[in-house]
């Protein structure tokens, strides 16, 4: 039987070329696998939830109060009905937390790539694909928590449509084309639903496939210890016989822990926010988009001017221009920090203090912008004053990254001096012997 299949499908060639691929043995390499496991669980839980969700704004009876004359959107009612199903609320919780964990693991994976210089030749394309995966994962998440169409989702969609409509000259057309007419049109939920279950997952799966194919073709960047064991040779465990059982074990443990977490930690309370209304609640995005929300919060709302017939306002600069510049710089990293030769081994971050300092400064800046997303709460609690809150937060967003950069440079120099002193002591001890 094996021979019959091999003659037709060339299984032995597949085994030699792919199934025996060596995987590096290092805990940081599991971050990418956790991201993949999260995507798989999201697809499975999303497929089940889709069977019971109704993507419609048609008005139906309120499932929480069937005798009421006030009708509610079918999308909101179906979310309530899913919560009432056996394990329905559990599925929603798992779907929610897996989305957050996928973003968290993906970001940590990209941090490992950046700080170890693994984006250099020949892996520049995979760095760009990884950034696209992060971006489209965030977009998929935004469309996802808009689907319950409660008051929170309604306000979120209003903000998103406003951002799309803020593009000079073509904003109104973009907003209506992307969200099925003027907000809130009758087709907005079915349009967002199509994005969430077809277009964006299709892009994510295509990018994931391309990412993995390139990784198999170019091989992993080897951990530093591999350089001493076997220079320019792949050091690791074979995929099918050792790495696969490790991955399966990790996937089961990871999924089990998320299920345990979801059993006790609730998510978005659809019934508390209620169906869409004219009273907009205070909404904040999840952690991975909070920094964009923070930029919008500290930009003056009066920022607006006309140029050649186009309107440039705070929404455009805060939600599109500034994030676009930051993301553009991330895409440019492999072009700025280049290597003439192929990169085989992960670099020690402290050997590249400028890159390390810039990376830490970047995350400090993102952290300040994320804190700025809580500007109203900071003012209400008395930590900041309404009159100078924006100025203070902008100063912190500029000053703290600069301070952290030079602090990292100083710390790395101190580490180098300690290393050099240790090397001198070892050489002196060897000379005495």
Residue holding tokens 């964990």?
Answer: 101
Distance CA 273, CA 295 (A): 26
Q: Could you give the C-alpha distances from 211 to 34, 130, 203, 214, 240, in angstroms and in order? A: 15, 7, 12, 5, 19
Biggest CA-to-CA distance, the chain: 94
Q: What is the pLDDT of residues 71-90, one digit of tens each?
A: 999 999 999 999 999 899 99
What's the pLDDT score for residue 22?
77
The tens digit of pLDDT for each residue in 328-364 reads 999 999 999 998 888 888 899 999 999 999 999 999 9
pLDDT tens track for 49-59 = 999 999 999 99
pLDDT tens readout for residues 113-169: 999 999 999 999 999 999 999 999 999 999 998 999 999 999 999 999 999 999 999
Report field, pTM of the whole predicted structure over 0.85 = yes
Tokens of 344: 């085989």
- List Cα–Cα distances, 91 to 98, 127, 286, in angstroms: 10, 32, 19
Per-residue pLDDT, averaged over 215-232, amounts to 78
pLDDT reported for residue 433: 62
Q: CA of 267: how far to CAs of 58, 150, 228, 271, in Å?
A: 25, 14, 48, 11
* Eight-class DSSP state of 157: H
Tokens found for residue 262: 């979801």
């Amino acid at each position: 039987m094996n021979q019959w299949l091999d003659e037709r499908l060339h299984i032995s060639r597949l085994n030699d070329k792919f199934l025996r691929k060596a995987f590096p043995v290092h805990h940081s390499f599991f971050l990418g696998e956790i991201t993949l496991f999260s995507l798989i669980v999201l697809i499975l839980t999303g497929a089940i939830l889709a069977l019971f969700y109704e993507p419609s704004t048609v008005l139906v009876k309120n499932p929480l109060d069937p005798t009421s004359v006030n009708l509610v959107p079918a999308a909101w009612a179906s979310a309530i009905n899913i919560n009432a199903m056996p394990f329905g609320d559990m599925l929603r919780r798992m779907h929610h937390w897996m989305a957050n964990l996928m973003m968290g693991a993906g970001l940590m994976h990209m941090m490992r790539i950046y700080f170890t210089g693994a984006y250099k030749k020949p892996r520049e394309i995979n760095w760009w694909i990884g950034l696209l995966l992060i971006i489209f994962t965030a977009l998929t998440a935004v469309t996802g928590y808009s689907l319950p169409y409660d008051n929170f989702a309604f306000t979120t969609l209003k903000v998103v449509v406003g951002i799309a409509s803020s593009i000079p000259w073509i904003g109104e057309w973009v907003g209506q084309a992307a969200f099925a007419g003027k907000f809130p049109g009758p087709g907005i939920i079915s349009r967002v639903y199509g994005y969430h279950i077809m277009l964006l997952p299709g892009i994510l799966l295509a990018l994931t496939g391309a990412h993995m194919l390139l990784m198999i073709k170019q091989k992993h960047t080897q951990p530093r210890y591999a350089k001493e064991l076997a220079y320019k040779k792949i050091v690791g465990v074979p995929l099918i016989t050792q790495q696969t059982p490790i991955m399966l074990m990790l996937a089961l443990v990871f999924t089990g822990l998320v299920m345990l977490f979801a059993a006790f930690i609730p998510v978005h309370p659809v019934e508390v926010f209620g169906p869409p209304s004219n009273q907009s609640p205070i909404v904040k995005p999840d952690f991975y988009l909070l920094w964009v929300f923070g930029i919008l919060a500290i930009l003056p709302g009066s920022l607006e001017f006309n140029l050649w017939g186009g309107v440039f306002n705070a929404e455009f600069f805060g939600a599109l221009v500034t994030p676009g510049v930051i993301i553009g710089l991330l895409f440019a990293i492999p072009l700025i920090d280049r290597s003439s030769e192929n990169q085989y081994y992960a670099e020690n971050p402290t050997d590249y203090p400028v890159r390390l300092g810039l990376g830490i400064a970047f995350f400090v800046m993102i952290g300040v912008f994320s804190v700025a997303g809580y500007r109203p709460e900071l003012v209400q609690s008395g930590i900041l004053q309404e009159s100078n809150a924006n100025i203070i937060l902008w100063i912190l967003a500029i000053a703290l990254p600069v301070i952290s950069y030079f602090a990292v440079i100083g710390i790395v120099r101190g580490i180098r001096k300690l290393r050099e002193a240790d090397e001198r002591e070892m050489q002196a001890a060897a000379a005495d012997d």
